[in-house]
């Protein structure tokens, strides 16, 4: 069974298709060249010794070797089956002023600048910074001149659904709040007092529920309202079964660097969407996915296109809300400068429910954990989320 599972897994998640062919220094920049399109790139700092690590998704780097460049010693290799990792051992502190792909997606430029120790520490605090390769480099051009709109069918009900709080008015939008972790999964545990992520997220989720119900502008459901464990797929399945208009997963981050601080908002990356669409289209019961369209008859290509169109629209709404949430949260709490990021978190993969994952801060930072574990801090976090939700749906109502 294990062998069968692995073979199916790798059939769904394709191996890298591109190879890193060259890395060169150009006037304060590192330029990484590929022989084909890649998916995404991310960069983050490490200390003890000071290093920069660059991960290239959808690429291989088996024969990079090692060399000395302007900012230090460069080395690289294969991090996992689908990720090339390049490491620059720094001979002096630097900052990253820009990270960008060429228009054709076949080269990545990292702009570096000399820095002092404090500036490098701030870079460490930012954590991983990510960027997607240009969409046109990974996909065939889309035909213009028409649009397609569809509604995905909700998953078949299984088990009891959570209570919906707020006015019993189906015209009010429904928001599902997901408190991360729970049960035997405590999540991150703070070195400053031992606070557990599962407890902090549940307390914040309940505060958000109360704020939204008090506003009278939305109905609210919680994926969990006690210390219970819920599998990741079931968390967004609850939102789909309830017909939610928005899904917000609450988390609290951790980092090796105790100086890392501030909130971030994640939405699903385009790469993750493409892969999830493949998985959805491959399911045996795919005829149930889209109302009124028998995808079993339509064929795999059309199935993927229709699912992808729906998920792209969902991702656009999610991204808009993520930026709004980052803006509103800044009024009440610390938020990273570039707060909106992309990742393929499982809980974000509902194809038809706008979804964000809100990392409210770091339990490994003394100031952040004191804020997040306090009643006043939780109230401020909830206030920012509630404000963003109200503005989001007000804007949607105004556009009708």
Tell whether 105 and 248 lie within a shared domain: no
Strand order in the sheet with 40-46: 66-69, 72-80, 83-90, 51-57, 40-46, 129-132
Tell whether 239 and 123 lie within a shared domain: no
Query: What's the rounded Cα separation, in Å, for the pair 94 and 44?
Result: 12
CATH number of the domain to which 107 belongs: 2.60.40.3500
Tell whether 226 and 369 lie within a shared domain: yes
Tell whether 64 and 25 lie within a shared domain: yes
**Interstrand relation of 219-222 and 164-165 (parallel, antiparallel or unpaired):** antiparallel
Spatial CA neighbour of 264 closest among 272, 277, 275, 255: 255
Tell whether 205 and 307 lie within a shared domain: yes
CATH number of the domain to which 226 belongs: 3.40.630.40
* 245: DSSP letter: S
Spatial CA neighbour of 30 closest among 10, 53, 13: 53
Tell whether 255 and 308 lie within a shared domain: yes
Question: Does 39 reside within a domain?
Answer: yes
Query: What's the rounded Cα separation, in Å, for the pair 147 and 326?
Result: 30
Question: Does 324 reside within a domain?
Answer: yes
Tell whether 118 and 63 lie within a shared domain: yes
3-class secondary structure, 152: strand
In contact, 355 and 265? CB cutoff 8 Å: no
Tell whether 26 and 99 lie within a shared domain: yes
3-class secondary structure, 326: helix
Q: Is the dihedral of CA 40, 327, 243, 220 positive or negative?
A: positive
Question: Does 159 reside within a domain?
Answer: no
Ranges of the chain whose pLDDT falls below 70:
1-17, 63, 65, 126, 134-159, 269-310, 400
Question: Does 4 reside within a domain?
Answer: no
What is the predicted pLDDT for the residue at 310? Answer: 65
Question: Does 233 reside within a domain?
Answer: yes
How many domains is the chain partitioned into structurally? 2
3-class secondary structure, 99: strand
Question: Does 6 reside within a domain?
Answer: no
In contact, 53 and 85? CB cutoff 8 Å: yes
Number of neighbours of residue 141 by Cβ within 10 angstroms? 6
Question: Does 82 reside within a domain?
Answer: yes
In contact, 26 and 111? CB cutoff 8 Å: no
In contact, 173 and 219? CB cutoff 8 Å: yes
**What residue spans of the chain are helical by DSSP H?**
2-12, 117-126, 135-138, 197-215, 232-242, 270-282, 295-298, 300-329, 366-372, 375-398
239-267 pLDDT, tens per residue? 989 999 999 999 998 888 899 899 999 88
Tell whether 93 and 205 lie within a shared domain: no
pTM of the shown model: 0.57
Number of neighbours of residue 117 by Cβ within 10 angstroms? 9
Tell whether 106 and 172 lie within a shared domain: no
Distance of CA 107 to the CA centre of its chain: 24
User: 120 lies in which domain range?
Assistant: 19-135
Integer distance in angstroms from the first to the last C-alpha of the chain? 51
What is the predicted pLDDT for the residue at 279? Answer: 44
What is the predicted pLDDT for the residue at 12? Answer: 35
Tell whether 180 and 86 lie within a shared domain: no
Question: Does 150 reside within a domain?
Answer: no
Query: What's the rounded Cα separation, in Å, for the pair 400 and 385?
Result: 23
Tell whether 87 and 193 lie within a shared domain: no
Backbone angles phi, psi at 69, to 5 degrees: -120, -175
């Amino acid at each position: 069974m294990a062998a069968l599972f692995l073979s199916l897994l790798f059939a769904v998640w394709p191996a890298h298709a591109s190879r890193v062919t060259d890395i060169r220094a150009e006037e304060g920049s590192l330029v990484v060249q590929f022989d084909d399109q890649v998916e995404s790139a991310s960069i983050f700092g490490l200390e003890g010794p000071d290093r920069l690590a660059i991960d290239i998704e959808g690429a291989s780097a088996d024969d990079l070797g090692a060399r000395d460049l302007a900012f230090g010693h460069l080395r690289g290799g294969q991090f996992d089956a689908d990720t090339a990792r390049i490491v620059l051992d720094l001979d002096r502190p630097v900052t990253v002023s820009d990270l960008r792909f060429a228009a054709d997606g076949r080269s990545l430029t990292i702009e570096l600048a000399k820095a002092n120790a404090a500036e490098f520490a701030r870079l460490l605090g930012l954590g991983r910074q990510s960027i997607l390769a240009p969409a046109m480099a990974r996909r065939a051009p889309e035909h213009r001149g028409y649009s397609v709109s569809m509604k995905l069918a909700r998953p078949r009900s299984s088990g009891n659904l959570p209570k919906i709080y707020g006015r019993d008015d189906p015209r009010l939008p429904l928001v599902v709040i997901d408190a991360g972790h729970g049960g035997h999964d405590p999540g991150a545990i703070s070195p400053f007092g031992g606070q557990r992520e599962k407890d902090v997220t549940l307390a914040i989720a309940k505060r958000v529920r109360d704020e939204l119900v008090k506003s009278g502008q939305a109905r609210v459901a919680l994926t969990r309202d006690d210390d219970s464990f819920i599998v990741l797929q079931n968390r967004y399945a609850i939102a789909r079964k309830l017909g939610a208009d928005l899904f917000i997963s609450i988390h609290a981050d951790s980092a090796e660097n105790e100086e890392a601080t501030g909130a971030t908002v994640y939405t699903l990356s385009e790469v993750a969407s493409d892969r999830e669409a493949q998985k959805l289209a491959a399911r045996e019961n795919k005829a149930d996915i889209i109302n009124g369209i028998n995808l079993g008859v339509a064929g795999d290509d059309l199935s993927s296109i229709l699912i992808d169109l729906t998920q792209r629209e969902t991702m656009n709404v999610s991204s808009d809300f993520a930026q709004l949430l980052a803006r509103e949260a800044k009024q009440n709490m610390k938020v990273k400068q570039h707060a909106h990021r992309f990742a393929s978190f499982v809980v974000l993969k509902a194809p038809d429910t706008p979804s964000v994952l809100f990392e409210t801060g770091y339990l490994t930072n003394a100031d952040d954990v004191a804020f997040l574990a306090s009643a006043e801090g939780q109230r401020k976090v909830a206030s920012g989320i509630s404000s963003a939700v109200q503005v989001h749906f007000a804007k949607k109502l105004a556009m009708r």
